[in-house]
Amino acid sequence: MQLIVFSKMLKERSIGELIELAQRHGYDGYDLAVRPGHPVNPENATAALPEAQTQMTQAGLRLGMVTGNFDLLTADHPLAEPLLAAMDTADVRLLKLGYFRFEPVTMDYWAQVDEVRRAFAAWEKLASIYNVKVCYHTHSHYCMGLNAAALMHLLRDFDPALLGAYLDPGHFAVDGEPFDFGLAMAREYLSILSMKDVLIERVAKNGHGAAKTRWVPAGEGMVDWTAVFGELRRTGYDGYVSIHCEYDIDEGEDWYGTFVREVAFFREMRGDGRE
């Protein structure tokens, strides 16, 4: 397994600084946010993405994935084809899309499934031109494909070489299913995993109770990481694992120190240092 870090929380760092950070803490590269304000962004990606990959490769690292902006949902987006062309030139083969939302009160679920699948069919054609796999992330809280079962409503019968599942054990804990159950459904499409941990807490609501999610450092939440990594080993997964480093921390808390511990945690789960 190759540990990469999602660069969303490292927006202010240059590519050179990202390289230094990875080398200092022993991970393998980046899931690069190509978003406005980042060192590689939608406007400069044609030149900047291949250059970033060259710098990473020379340093013994890799850009394993590009995460597009939140509005990158359909293949007719004006930046979609230029971004895939830049990825092909840079030899970055995985792209993460934004999220299709679902509102139960105003939307018909199966009609929305059909709409997303039409979008995926167009992505499949574009992906085939540029040899890129377009991935969709299992994200809780009223996103289409919020767990593996719902994701397979969207992906089933598409080419798994061109459309992939981006599974997230943390979001499974919120709106999902047991990790091994979800993996069994989506395994053919599994292309990358997102790693984050979560606590579900009770809060008072209208004299009763409701659930509130809080994203916490890995090992402090509800995800059974021993089971997750055990299942990945059992099934022979050897792809990318993206560490997201998105925590609900109070103002003044040490984000960087938590980041360092998070990377060390997942290096241990991967088995770094074992004989």
Range from 60-64, 229-233, 252-256 carrying the lowest mean pLDDT: 252-256
**pLDDT per residue as tens digits for the range 161-218:** 999 999 999 999 999 899 999 999 999 999 999 999 999 999 988 889 998 999 999 9
CB pairs under 8 A, 24+ apart, for 154-160?
Answer: 154/113, 154/116, 154/117, 154/120, 155/120, 155/186, 155/189, 158/120, 158/121, 158/124, 159/124, 159/128, 160/188, 160/189
Looking at 39-48, 112-121, 221-230, 265-274, which range is the least confident one?
A: 265-274
Share of the chain above pLDDT 90, in %: 91
> Is the pLDDT score of 241 beyond 70?
yes
Domains (range + CATH), the chain: 2-270 (3.20.20.150)
Report the predicted TM-score, pTM, of the whole model to 2 decimal places.
0.94
Position 275 scores a pLDDT of: 45
- Give the H or E element holding residue 17: helix 15-25
Any residues with CB less than 8 A from the CB of 23 and at least 6 apart, and which? 59, 60, 61
Closest residue by Cα to residue 176 from 193, 164, 158: 193
pLDDT digits (tens, 9 = 90+) for 156-166: 999 999 999 99
Question: Does residue 145 register a pLDDT over 60?
Answer: yes
What share of the chain has pLDDT > 70, as a percent? Answer: 97
- Write the pLDDT tens digit of every residue in 87-104: 999 999 999 999 999 999
CA 25 → CA 21, 106, 220, 229, distances in Å? 6, 47, 21, 20
pLDDT (average), residues 102-124: 98
